[in-house]
Structure 1
Amino acid sequence: MANKDLVLGGGQYLQPGQSAEEMSFVFSVLQPESDKPTLITTSFLPHAVALKPDQPTTMAVFEKKGPGACEIDLNSMSLTRTIETVPGRHFYGHGAYSSDARLLYCTESYLDDFKGVIAVRDADTHQLLGEFPTYGEEPHECQLIDDGKVMVVTNGGGRLDGDAPCVTYIDVQTEKLLDRVELTNERINTGHFALDGDGGLIVVSAPRAGLALTDNGGVSIKPAGQEMRTRTEPEEIVARMKGEALSVAIHEGSRVAAVAHPDGDMVTFWSMRDGSFIKAMDLPRPRGICLNTRDSGFYISYGSDTRLGLVDAQSLELDEDNLRINTFQSGSHVFNWIRDVERLGFDLQL
Structure 2
Amino acid sequence: MPISRRHLLTRSALAGLAAAGALSGLDARVLARAAKTLYLSARADREGQFFASGFDADGAKLFDLPMPARGHGAAVSPDGQHGIFFGRRPGRFALVVDTASGTVVHTIANAENRNFAGHGLFVKGGRLLLATEIDYEGKRGLIGLYDAADSWRRIGEWQTGGMDPHDLRLLPDGRTLIVANGGILTHPEVQRLKLNLDSMDSSVAFIDLNDGGLIEQRRLPGEFFQLSLRHMAVTADGETVVAMQYEGPSTDLVPLVGLAKPGRAIELLEMPDMAWSTLRNYCGSAAVDAAGRILGVTSPRGGRALFWEAATRRPLQPLDLADGCGLAAAPVPGRFIVSNGLGALVEYDPLNGRTRALDSGFAGARWDNHIFTG
Q: Which residue, out of 119, 129, 132, partners 2:155?
A: 129
Partner of 1:295: 333
Q: Find out whether 1:316 has 2:353 as its counterpart.
A: yes
Partner of 2:80: 56
Q: Could you state the TM-score of these two structures normalised by the residue count of structure 1?
A: 0.82
Partner of 2:13: none
- Bigger fraction of residues in helix: 2
Determine if contact 2:289/2:333 at 8 Å carries over to the other structure.
Answer: yes
**Could you say if the C-alpha distance between residues 290 and 127 of structure 1 is closer, same or farther in structure 2, counting changes exceeding 3 Å?**
same
Q: Which residue, out of 183, 188, 193, partners 1:157?
A: 183
- Secondary structure of the residue that 2:275 maps to in structure 1? helix
- Secondary structure of the residue that 1:237 maps to in structure 2? helix
Instruction: Between 30-39 and 138-147, report the one with greater CA deviation.
Output: 30-39
Q: Could you state the TM-score of these two structures normalised by the residue count of structure 2?
A: 0.78
Q: Which residue, out of 241, 259, 263, partners 1:202?
A: 241
Determine if contact 2:234/2:292 at 8 Å carries over to the other structure.
Answer: no
Partner of 1:285: 323
1:69-104 alpha-carbon deviations (Å, 9 max, x no partner): 121111221111210122222100111222243322
Output aligned runs, 1:134-283, within 5 Å: 134-146=160-172, 148-158=174-184, 159-162=196-199, 164-184=201-221, 185-208=224-247, 218-222=255-259, 227-231=265-269, 233-251=271-289, 253=291, 255-283=293-321
Cα offset, 1:150, TM superposition: 1.7
- Secondary structure of the residue that 2:356 maps to in structure 1? coil
Determine if contact 2:143/2:157 at 8 Å carries over to the other structure.
Answer: yes
1:252-286 alpha-carbon deviations (Å, 9 max, x no partner): 65832121100001111123224343343221111
Cα offset, 1:10, TM superposition: 0.5
Specify the code of the residue in structure 1 equivalent to 2:313. G
- Give the gaps of 5 or more residues in structure 1: 16-22, 341-350
Cα offset, 1:186, TM superposition: 1.8
Cα offset, 1:178, TM superposition: 1.8
Q: Which residue, out of 11, 22, 44, partners 1:12?
A: 44
| Counterpart Cα distance in 1 of 2:163 and 2:202 | 8
| Counterpart Cα distance in 2 of 1:100 and 1:35 | 28
| Counterpart Cα distance in 2 of 1:206 and 1:245 | 6
Partner of 1:347: none
Q: Which residue, out of 91, 97, 108, partners 2:133?
A: 108
**Could you say if the C-alpha distance between residues 59 and 326 of structure 1 is closer, same or farther in structure 2, counting changes exceeding 3 Å?**
closer
Specify the code of the residue in structure 1 equivalent to 2:85. V
| Counterpart Cα distance in 2 of 1:317 and 1:217 | 29
Specify the code of the residue in structure 2 equivalent to 1:56. G
| Counterpart Cα distance in 2 of 1:60 and 1:107 | 13
| Counterpart Cα distance in 2 of 1:113 and 1:326 | 41
1:311-341 alpha-carbon deviations (Å, 9 max, x no partner): 1253133235x554746361111123xxx2x
Instruction: Between 162-171 and 67-76, report the one with greater CA deviation.
Output: 162-171
| Counterpart Cα distance in 1 of 2:158 and 2:82 | 25
Q: Which residue, out of 52, 55, 61, partners 1:30?
A: 55
1:180-202 alpha-carbon deviations (Å, 9 max, x no partner): 22234222101101111112221
Cα offset, 1:50, TM superposition: 2.0
Percent identity over the alignment is 24
**Could you say if the C-alpha distance between residues 154 and 254 of structure 1 is closer, same or farther in structure 2, counting changes exceeding 3 Å?**
closer
| Counterpart Cα distance in 1 of 2:367 and 2:64 | 13
**Could you say if the C-alpha distance between residues 125 and 35 of structure 1 is closer, same or farther in structure 2, counting changes exceeding 3 Å?**
closer
Determine if contact 1:152/1:167 at 8 Å carries over to the other structure.
Answer: yes
| Counterpart Cα distance in 2 of 1:214 and 1:113 | 34
| Counterpart Cα distance in 1 of 2:292 and 2:61 | 32
**Could you say if the C-alpha distance between residues 174 and 137 of structure 1 is closer, same or farther in structure 2, counting changes exceeding 3 Å?**
same
Determine if contact 1:204/1:218 at 8 Å carries over to the other structure.
Answer: no
Cα offset, 1:109, TM superposition: 0.4
Determine if contact 1:232/1:238 at 8 Å carries over to the other structure.
Answer: no
Determine if contact 1:215/1:242 at 8 Å carries over to the other structure.
Answer: no
**Could you say if the C-alpha distance between residues 94 and 215 of structure 1 is closer, same or farther in structure 2, counting changes exceeding 3 Å?**
farther
Specify the code of the residue in structure 2 equivalent to 1:140. H
| Counterpart Cα distance in 2 of 1:109 and 1:156 | 11
- Give the gaps of 5 or more residues in structure 2: 1-7, 9-31, 185-195
1:278-306 alpha-carbon deviations (Å, 9 max, x no partner): 343221111111112122411100251x1
Partner of 1:72: 97
- Please tell me the root mean square deviation across aligned C-alpha atoms, in Å: 2.8
Instruction: Between 214-223 and 43-52, report the one with greater CA deviation.
Output: 214-223
Cα offset, 1:146, TM superposition: 4.2
Determine if contact 2:114/2:135 at 8 Å carries over to the other structure.
Answer: yes
Determine if contact 2:141/2:159 at 8 Å carries over to the other structure.
Answer: yes
Task: Count how many residue pairs are aligned between Structure 1 and Structure 2.
Answer: 325
Instruction: Between 65-74 and 105-114, report the one with greater CA deviation.
Output: 105-114
